[in-house]
Amino acid sequence: MALPACAARALGPPLQPERGAPARTTCPRRHSRVEAELAASRPGSVAASVRAGPPRGVSRGFNSQTLLDEPLKASSSLAGAARAPLFALLPRGRRRRMHDFRRRWDLGSLCRALLTRGLAALGHSLKHVLGAIFSKIFGPLASVGNMDEKSNKLLLALVMLFLFAVIVLQYVCPGTECQLLRLQAFSSPMPDPYRSEDESSARFVPRYNFSRGDLLRKVDFDIKGDDLIVFLHIQKTGGTTFGRHLVRNIQLEQPCECRVGQKKCTCHRPGKRETWLFSRFSTGWSCGLHADWTELTSCVPAVVDGKRDARLRPSRNFHYITILRDPVSRYLSEWRHVQRGATWKASLHVCDGRPPTSEELPSCYTGDDWSGCPLKEFMDCPYNLANNRQVRMLSDLTLVGCYNLSVMPEKQRNKVLLESAKSNLKHMAFFGLTEFQRKTQYLFEKTFNMNFISPFTQYNTTRASSVEINEEIQKRIEGLNFLDMELYSYAKDLFLQRYQFMRQKEHQEARRKRQEQRKFLKGRFLQTHFQSQSQGQNQNLSQNPSQNPNPNVNQNVTQNMTQNLTQSSGQNSSLKENQESQKQNPGQEPGDGHTSPGTSDYMGSVEKWR
Beta bridge partners of 257: 266
Question: Are 402 and 351 within 8 A, CB to CB?
Answer: yes
The number of angstroms, rounded, from the C-alpha of 142 to the middle of its chain's C-alpha atoms is 49
Closest CA to 218 of 586, 479, 597, 604: 586
The dihedrals phi and psi of 61, each to the nearest 5 degrees, come to -70, -30
Q: Buried b / exposed e across 501-521, counting CB within 10 Å, b at 16+?
A: bbbebeebeeeeeeeeeeeee
Q: Edge-to-edge strands of the sheet including 318-324?
A: 277-278, 228-232, 318-324, 430-433
SS3 395: coil
Question: Are 236 and 337 within 8 A, CB to CB?
Answer: yes
Closest CA to 435 of 334, 506, 336, 330: 330
What distance in Å separates the CA atoms of residue 2 and residue 355, rounded to the nearest whole number? 104
- The upper half-sphere exposure of residue 402, i.e. CA atoms within 13 Å in the direction of its Cβ, equals 16
Q: Which of 124, 128, 268, 290 is catalytic?
A: 290
Question: Are 233 and 288 within 8 A, CB to CB?
Answer: no
- 250 vs 267, 274, 583, CA distance in Å? 11, 18, 23
What distance in Å separates the CA atoms of residue 602 and residue 50, rounded to the nearest whole number? 91
What distance in Å separates the CA atoms of residue 432 and residue 410, rounded to the nearest whole number? 30
Active site residue 319: no
What distance in Å separates the CA atoms of residue 243 and residue 230, rounded to the nearest whole number? 11
H-type alpha helices, 139-202: 149-172, 183-187
Question: Are 212 and 505 within 8 A, CB to CB?
Answer: no
SS3 591: coil
Q: How many CB atoms lie within 10 A of CB 265?
A: 21
Q: What is residue 468's DSSP assignment?
A: -
SS3 265: coil
User: Which sequence positions are flagged as catalytic?
Assistant: 290
